[in-house]
A and B are shown apart, each in its own frame.
Chain A
């Protein structure tokens, strides 16, 4: 069943059309890899899908309700969004950073209630941050910060997770770790995960679906095994690609 429906979404910025009439019906339990060349409109589509940017044409609905009709708080409880290279601006502790994900669930005043502590402990444990719980977030390594941000996004138990390039700048092991976590969120806990990913091999191995953008338009959307083809990569990235292996053994080779 459709959870998030992107209907003819068009985003224009500074007189340029960045996203042009994109349609896609996304359902719970899908891990959708959003692929496309630099400037293809991935980040803009994610922002529109998150309800942060109002589309210039078209609409996005969540469970059939227009995003624009939902209150900020309701929307924030239903979906989490992580921008590209998320940063923390003050040297707060990892625990505090993760707890910020509860903002839409807290009353306007007061601290963190005691009943939220177990949730905090649980998500910190699930993201392998227990050893870093009281560490200052600005001193985390790239991989640790990525996990902390993921924990921040997950603590509010959103149905939808929208992530912009979660593995850029991560070493192979941490990239693998992040992508398999995202997959587990979709397959294991039935969430919808939409993530912009440049590593085609990891996308091929872990994603359930591929949403490919080419110059702002939808190139294709469908199950990874069906739509990720050399022809698609030729169209989207202008590379000669070869896809070998299956499932977690898949490798995408390409040359210009």
Chain B
């Protein structure tokens, strides 16, 4: 087996185990045998409904969103050659948050539960377009434009919170931003996955370019890499996939930051080879985090973004310590 391939196999193994396990874990206790039976029989028992209408779409979304975060984090770290790059870098997650907050602000979420993800998508696309408008010309320009868009959009989110029509609405908005996969249906899957799929395909085409960028922009350009095209495709790919992912789950941090770091040493730090294992690991981590929100007994729903931050932040401390040790 080619060196490094086993991390992909390992990540896939963890992902499959987590995916199967996630079907057996939940607030409603369904005995394991019932779960298996629920898959096989056509009659609508409580078990089969819990399984096919609640847990399965939730697992599918967790995989799609986690893979998106892991992949886009790896692509953006490769593109910017900055280990701190994460999926929210280009402002699209903030855009999605603003769209969702607007839908809650005007009470649209109560009229139709898909208004929130749909407006989130619109917000993500608008933010991505704004980043594109101001971020042409260079990688640093793109990052700065992303930061400016995040800042501006964040201000509007704060404004919405500030003038929330009711304290309940303000609470809803804040909660949405903490991220969750609870009560997501097949409709959410249908809204998000087409965008996620297109975004992932676009990001995957950048593998060769981000490898060449290991040598810096001048050498990458001399090797035939079209830097402008690479940046634009990265923005479109991240805009579609992360925009759609954030629209349905809310903000989920750290996965996109951490997954590429975990796989990198196992693939000889070659950027293109971090993409697949990072996506698989991102999916596995998000599934595990979502299971944790269901398993840990709490009165209120434990939010997904809280768990990923609690899991991710210690990892970053470890990364800092390791850097201190290896730094010359």
Q: Cβ of A101: which chain B residues have Cβ within 8 Å of it?
A: 223
Q: By CB atoms of chain B within 10 A, which of A101, A103, A109 has the most?
A: A103
Would A103 and B212 count as touching, CB distance under 8 A?
yes
Would A100 and B226 count as touching, CB distance under 8 A?
no
Would B222 and A96 count as touching, CB distance under 8 A?
no
Would A91 and B212 count as touching, CB distance under 8 A?
no
Give Cα A250–Cα B236 distance, bound, in whole angstroms: 57
Would B225 and A103 count as touching, CB distance under 8 A?
yes
Segment among B11-19, B114-122, B265-273 that sits at the interface with chain A: B265-273
Cβ-defined partner of B219 (8 Å) among A82, A90, A92: A82
- Confirm or deny: A186 has a beta carbon within 8 angstroms of a beta carbon on chain B: no
Q: Cβ of B212: which chain A residues have Cβ within 8 Å of it?
A: 100, 103
Q: Cβ of A111: which chain B residues have Cβ within 8 Å of it?
A: 2
Q: Cβ of B271: which chain A residues have Cβ within 8 Å of it?
A: 90
> A108's closest neighbor in chain B, by CB?
B208
- Confirm or deny: B52 has a beta carbon within 8 angstroms of a beta carbon on chain A: no
Would A108 and B214 count as touching, CB distance under 8 A?
no
Q: Cβ of B215: which chain A residues have Cβ within 8 Å of it?
A: 86-89, 97, 100, 152
Give Cα A76–Cα B221 distance, bound, in whole angstroms: 9
> B326's closest neighbor in chain A, by CB?
A91
Q: Cβ of B2: which chain A residues have Cβ within 8 Å of it?
A: 111
- Confirm or deny: B216 has a beta carbon within 8 angstroms of a beta carbon on chain A: yes
Would A86 and B219 count as touching, CB distance under 8 A?
yes
Question: Using a CB-CB cutoff of 8 Å, which residues 174-219 of chain B contact chain A?
Answer: 205, 207-208, 211-216, 218-219
Q: Cβ of A104: which chain B residues have Cβ within 8 Å of it?
A: 223-224
* Interface size class of chain B, counting residues whose CB lies under 8 Å from the partner chain: 20 to 34
Main secondary structure of the interface of B (DSSP, over half): helix
Q: By CB atoms of chain A within 10 A, which of B2, B205, B212, B215 has the most?
A: B215
> B207's closest neighbor in chain A, by CB?
A109
Question: Using a CB-CB cutoff of 8 Å, which residues 24-72 of chain A contact chain B?
Answer: 47, 50, 52, 72
Would A83 and B269 count as touching, CB distance under 8 A?
no
Query: What's the minimum C-beta distance from B80 to chain A, rounded to whole angstroms?
Result: 10
- Confirm or deny: A253 has a beta carbon within 8 angstroms of a beta carbon on chain B: no
Give Cα A112–Cα B235 distance, bound, in whole angstroms: 28
Would B205 and A92 count as touching, CB distance under 8 A?
no
Would B269 and A76 count as touching, CB distance under 8 A?
no
Cβ-defined partner of A96 (8 Å) among B216, B225, B226, B270: B270
Would A100 and B211 count as touching, CB distance under 8 A?
yes
Interface string of A73-114 (1 = CB under 8 A from B): 101110111110011111111001100110110101101000
Interface string of B248-272 (1 = CB under 8 A from A): 0000000000000000100011110
Interface string of B37-52 (1 = CB under 8 A from A): 0000000000000000
Q: Cβ of B264: which chain A residues have Cβ within 8 Å of it?
A: 90
Q: Cβ of A109: which chain B residues have Cβ within 8 Å of it?
A: 207-208
Would A76 and B208 count as touching, CB distance under 8 A?
no
Query: What's the minimum C-beta distance from B237 to chain A, rounded to whole angstroms?
Result: 15
Cβ-defined partner of A75 (8 Å) among B81, B207, B216, B224: B224
Q: By CB atoms of chain B within 10 A, which of A76, A77, A90, A91 has the most?
A: A90
Give Cα A77–Cα B223 distance, bound, in whole angstroms: 8
Would B216 and A83 count as touching, CB distance under 8 A?
yes
Given A106-B208, A108-B208, A109-B207, decide whether A88 and B214 contact each other with a Cβ distance below 8 A: yes
Task: Name 8 interchain pairs, CB-CB below 8 A, sorted by A.
Answer: A72-B224, A73-B224, A87-B216, A89-B213, A89-B216, A96-B270, A104-B223, A108-B208
Chain A interface (Cβ < 8 Å from any Cβ of B): 47, 50, 52, 72-73, 75-77, 79-83, 86-93, 96-97, 100-101, 103-104, 106, 108-109, 111, 152
Given contact pairs A72-B225, A90-B81, a sample of 8 additional A-B residue pairs in the complex whose CB atoms are under 8 Å apart: A72-B226, A79-B222, A87-B215, A90-B269, A90-B271, A100-B223, A109-B207, A152-B219
Closest A-B pairs by Cβ, 8 of them: A76-B224, A81-B222, A72-B224, A89-B81, A83-B218, A103-B223, A104-B224, A90-B269
